[in-house]
Amino acid sequence: MKTKTICMYFEIHQSVHLKRYRFFDIGTDHYYFDDYANDSSINYIAENSYIPALKTFIQMARDYKGYFKLALSLSGVGLEQLEQYSPAVIDLLKELNETGCCEFLAEPYSHGLSSLADNWSEGFREDVQMLSDKIFELFGQRPKVFRNSSLLYDDEIGAMVADMGFKGILTEGAKHILGWKSPHYLYHCCMNPDLKILLRDYKLSDDLSLRFANPSWKSYPLMSDTYADWIAELPEEEKVINIFMHLCAFGIYQPLSSNILEFMKALPAEARKRGITFSTPSEVVENNESIAPLEVPYPMSWTDEERDVSTWLGNVMQREAFNKLYSIGDRVRLCTDRRIRQDWNYLQATNNFRFMTTKNVEGGIDRGIYESAYDAFTNYMNILADFINRVHWAMPADMDLEELNAFQTTIRNQDKEIQALEKTIARMKAAQKVKKQKTEKKTAEK
């Protein structure tokens, strides 16, 4: 690639809010979610962020046909919430897809931590495949590039993702991993060179998502020509500028009154003046050579100052909840109960573990209904206790996994036999009906 290119990616995910669940509810109440909170929160975000931002992108795609491009990833649990409470967002996503400017990425359906669970590669694979199938169903795209929940990545995750057939993965350009290296190049997984790695420029990304409307910021107010100048002034050999953030940066993190969408509308024209293009992640992978392997022995993410997994697994409570949840993962995988499978996806979501953090995070943490990390842990573990009981009722604890697998196979085979017999009966009935009609017709002719 001869010119600099901007690769913009936005995440759409909506947390599923758990309701207050007491110890005495275990065994009597199997519904864990606060529907009112889910309805009100997603509609608030949709009206104040998703809808105006997507309308802006659609207009930009039409104004700069073939020039402006972006990528989106949507969690499965977020998609379910949008389909239920704010279908207008789904309609806009389809309209954006029709412009041809948008690439949809794959991620875990649950927006969970399945990639970190020991001996859970098959579960992680199924989690991702579920989302890929959903994207294909809604938008007709089969994702080629992957982004993990909160951009989680290490060497083993990269190897799993490469084995699943993805050509690229997005992650954080973390300082403690890169050292003196720049995030403005394409790298590759050290365990499989077929998987290319796109690294987020956290400064340029956070300038928009975190600092844009801050009057005390030295670059306030930021104009699109200034931002384009920053990119153009990067060293000539640094060609790939990855700007990744939550879509709700537009309207929630940065209010619409800050004119951030007007900034976005003007950015393509300013970039074009400076010879800068826009590319999707797939185009970056296809049009650039990797310059080196990237070694990441321990998981990194884009969350908090440490850029690691301490946000979700940094204390004993979080690790206890995580281990307890995934201890029943294999049984859930064998279970065909749709409610259990759906609850499993919602209980995996990263926000459930973030509420339990005891880290001293600048600006604090919005814990929702919880008064403290301990309160969040207690509520989650009460729900998990009931959920585990349901799983063990459906997939008995006194049967090992091999027995359960054989049992489920028998049931599936029986279902297939029943379906085949039902089809045979239907054909026989139809043939008998035709024969009867012919007989009646002959009788009538006589």
Please write the tens of the pLDDT for every residue from 136-180: 999 999 999 999 999 999 999 999 999 999 999 999 999 999 999
How confident is the model at residue 254, as a pLDDT?
97
Is the pLDDT score of 403 beyond 70?
A: no
pLDDT-based confidence at 402, cuts 50/70/90?
A: low
Q: pLDDT tens across 328-385, in order?
A: 999 999 898 999 999 999 999 999 999 999 998 766 678 888 999 999 999 999 999 9
Is the pLDDT score of 18 beyond 90?
A: yes
How confident is the model at residue 67, as a pLDDT?
97
Q: Return the percentage of the chain with pLDDT > 90, whole number.
A: 82
Cα–Cα dist 309/302, whole Å: 9
For residue 153, the SS3 value is strand
How confident is the model at residue 360, as a pLDDT?
83
Q: Look up tokens 């959903």; give the residue.
A: 134
Q: Look up tokens 């279908």; give the residue.
A: 87
Number of H helices, E strands in the chain: 18, 10
How confident is the model at residue 411, as a pLDDT?
47
pLDDT-based confidence at 414, cuts 50/70/90?
A: low
Is the pLDDT score of 308 beyond 50?
A: yes
Among the residues of 212-287, which ranges form H helices?
Answer: 224-232, 260-273, 281-287
Is the pLDDT score of 15 beyond 90?
A: no
Per-residue pLDDT, averaged over 111-126, amounts to 90
How confident is the model at residue 422, as a pLDDT?
73
Q: Supply 173's token pair.
A: 């350009």
Out of 15-19, 26-30, 297-301, least confident range = 15-19
How confident is the model at residue 365, as a pLDDT?
79
How many angstroms separate the Cα of 136 from the Cα of each of 23, 105, 280, 346? 41, 11, 18, 21
How confident is the model at residue 364, as a pLDDT?
67
How confident is the model at residue 69, as a pLDDT?
98
From start to end of 190-329, where are the E strands?
192-200, 240-246, 277-278, 293-294
Q: Return the percentage of the chain with pLDDT > 70, whole number.
A: 92
Q: Which residue has the higher pLDDT, 72 or 394?
A: 72
Is the pLDDT score of 389 beyond 70?
A: yes
Q: Supply 23's token pair.
A: 């110890």
Q: pLDDT tens across 200-236, in order?
A: 999 999 999 999 999 999 999 999 999 999 999 999 9
CA 280 to chain centre: 17
Q: Which residue has the higher pLDDT, 305 or 240?
A: 240
Is the pLDDT score of 90 beyond 80?
A: yes
Query: In this structure, is the dihedral angle defined by the CA atoms of residues 163, 166, 167 and 171, taken in order, positive or negative?
Result: negative
Are residues 128 and 95 in contact, defined by beta-carbon separation less than 8 angstroms? no
Is the pLDDT score of 74 beyond 60?
A: yes
Per-residue pLDDT, averaged over 181-186, amounts to 97
How confident is the model at residue 362, as a pLDDT?
66
Out of 51-55, 127-131, 426-430, least confident range = 426-430
Residue 291 φ then ψ, to 5°: -95, -20
How many Cα atoms within 13 Å fall on the side-chain side of residue 227? Answer: 27
> Pick from 153, 201, 170, 182: which is nearest to 292 by CA?
182
H or E stretch at 187: strand 187-189
Name the average pLDDT for the chain: 92
pTM of the model: 0.87
Q: How many other CB atoms are found less than 10 A from the CB of residue 55?
A: 14
